[in-house]
Amino acid sequence: MISDYNPGFVDDLRFAIGVMDEYSHLGLDSEYASKLRSLMLQQIAGAEEAQRRGPVVAIQHDEETVTV
């Protein structure tokens, strides 16, 4: 998930949702605007959960990389 690695991305998603709401979905069909909004909210929720868990750390040991 992109937002796990870039906390500023969450702010961008919130801004995009605000713009969509303010400008009547920017001409998108209501169904697609709703789907897009849902996807953005999922990304935001996932990023907030990742922030609560703490940073992702990758450890390289010999030929193997382990994500903790």
Whether the pLDDT of residue 15 is over 90: the answer is yes
| Phi and psi torsions of 37, nearest 5° | -60, -45
**Cα(37)–Cα(16) distance, rounded to whole angstroms?**
9
pLDDT score of 48? 84
pLDDT more than 90, % of the chain: 29
Domain that holds residue 54: 2-67
Residues facing residue 58 across a β-bridge: 67
Query: pTM value?
Result: 0.66
Torsion of CA 47, 41, 1, 27, to 10 degrees: -140
How many Cβ atoms sit within 10 Å of the Cβ of residue 29? Answer: 9
Per residue in 19-58, pLDDT (tens digit) is: 988 888 778 888 998 999 999 999 999 888 887 877 656 5
Instruction: Tally the domains of the chain.
Output: 1
